[in-house]
Amino acid sequence: MTLTRAIHKVQLRAGGPTPIPYAARVLSVGLQDQQLTCWYITTTPIALPAERELQCVGTDWLLPDACTHETFVGTIVANSFVWHVFDPQRPYT
């Protein structure tokens, strides 16, 4: 079987974890159709069912211990809300 790379997207869960494939490489986060969204690249078909979780945390919220400067992905401004996305389990540097 030949594996090819593709870009996928997932709607982020504000204030909670959002699963993505373990081997995914996060490209960016942003707002699409008023939805918090993450775009990532991975191989298709997705070979491993294992997942990891992105964290989406609001401004002035307490941060989980795993959410650090090194795991920060980006910030999304959605009207009067500001969300900060972290990838604490990322397998790449």
User: Each residue of 69-93: pLDDT tens digit?
Assistant: 889 999 999 999 999 999 988 766 5
Q: Write the DSSP assignment of the chain as a string of letters.
A: ---EEEEEEEE--TTSEEEEETT-EEEEEEEETTEEEEEEEEEES-----EEEEEEEETTSPPPTT--GGGEEEEEEETTEEEEEE-TT-S--
- What range defines the domain where residue 36 resides? 4-86
Q: Is residue 54 part of a domain?
A: yes
Is pTM beyond 0.75? Reply is: yes
Q: Is residue 38 part of a domain?
A: yes
Q: Is residue 93 part of a domain?
A: no
On the question of pLDDT at 2 being above 80, the answer is no
Q: Is residue 82 part of a domain?
A: yes
Q: Is residue 20 part of a domain?
A: yes
Q: Is residue 36 part of a domain?
A: yes
The total number of structural domains in the chain stands at 1
User: Each residue of 20-56: pLDDT tens digit?
Assistant: 988 889 999 999 999 999 999 987 665 555 788 999 9
